[in-house]
């Protein structure tokens, strides 16, 4: 299998589907797969409203393929200048960050393991639907590294600083029920019901008018970084845009 075949993309009307397809290695990720994800995000059709991210086989993703690190990626990055090294990692980050765009609603369907980069990919999505056998881990610190694909900020947003720090420093596994209770996941279902639950969620998300959904996501994405006056101002501006759009349509 080539690296191009290791990530599969389909588009059906307003819904795109991204599938990591290396089931024999529990969908372990490589920089080449990240480049494919980055390209797909950049080339995605404008009429797509929802993206579902899945992994083939028994697990969502076991994280970065250890063979990549053993093959010299760590040394290669360490040998670069600060500017070039950060630019290279920024390109990796773009493989995940497009899933946070305000014009898209994104859902991770997670079964089995979501470890390291696998968990960070799931965290990049707006929603995470887990099978009851799911195990989530962020073990980078135990390897002498840190999560660098957007996972640190998302963890703090979802579970708070203290819990995020505990998960990163211990690298412990979080089961599906605990993940839901701490806000790390949206819901957990039996494995056989995972596809149906994701389909129901996607249908509910698509029932919202697109312009209102985009404005709402943009407001919520920016809420943490804004002070109260700035958030109120952003709400006013968004509401006026929507009202004018409705009036023009009428």
Active-site residues, by number, are: 140
Helices of type H across 82-148: 82-97, 117-124
Scored b (16 or more CB within 10 A) or e, 30-62 reads bbebbbbbbebbeebeeebbbbbbbbbeebbbb
Token pair belonging to 26 = 């529990």
Helices (H) and strands (E) in the chain, counts: 11, 9
Q: Of 19, 22, 1, give the one whose Cα is nearest residue 11.
A: 19
Taken in order 64, 100, 19, 195, the sign of the CA dihedral is positive
Q: Which residue has the tokens 């697990």?
A: 59
Separation between Cα atoms, residue 195 and residue 161, nearest integer Å? 32
Separation between Cα atoms, residue 17 and residue 9, nearest integer Å? 6
Separation between Cα atoms, residue 26 and residue 55, nearest integer Å? 8
């Amino acid at each position: 299998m080539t690296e191009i075949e290791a990530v599969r993309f389909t588009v059906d009307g307003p819904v795109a589907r991204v599938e990591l397809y290396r089931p024999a290695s529990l969908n372990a990720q490589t920089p080449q797969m990240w480049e494919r994800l980055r390209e797909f995000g950049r080339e995605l059709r404008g009429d797509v409203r929802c993206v579902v991210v899945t992994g083939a086989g028994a697990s969502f993703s076991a994280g970065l393929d250890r063979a990549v690190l053993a093959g010299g990626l760590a040394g290669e990055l360490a040998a670069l200048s600060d500017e070039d090294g950060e630019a290279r990692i920024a390109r990796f980050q773009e493989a995940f960050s497009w899933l946070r765009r305000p014009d898209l609603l994104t859902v991770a369907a997670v079964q089995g393991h979501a470890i390291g980069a696998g968990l960070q990919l799931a965290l990049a999505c707006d929603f995470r639907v887990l099978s009851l056998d799911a195990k989530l881990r962020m073990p980078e610190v135990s390897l002498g590294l840190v999560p660098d694909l957007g996972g640190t900020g998302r963890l703090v947003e979802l579970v708070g600083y203290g819990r995020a720090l505990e998960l990163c420093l211990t690298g412990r596994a979080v089961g599906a029920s605990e993940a839901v209770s701490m806000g790390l996941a949206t819901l957990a279902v039996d494995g056989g019901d995972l596809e149906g639950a994701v389909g129901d969620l996607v249908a509910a998300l698509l029932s919202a008018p697109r312009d209102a959904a985009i404005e709402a996501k943009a407001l919520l994405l920016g809420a943490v970084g804004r002070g109260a006056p700035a958030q109120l101002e952003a709400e006013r501006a968004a509401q006026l845009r929507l009202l004018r759009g409705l009036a023009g349509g009428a």
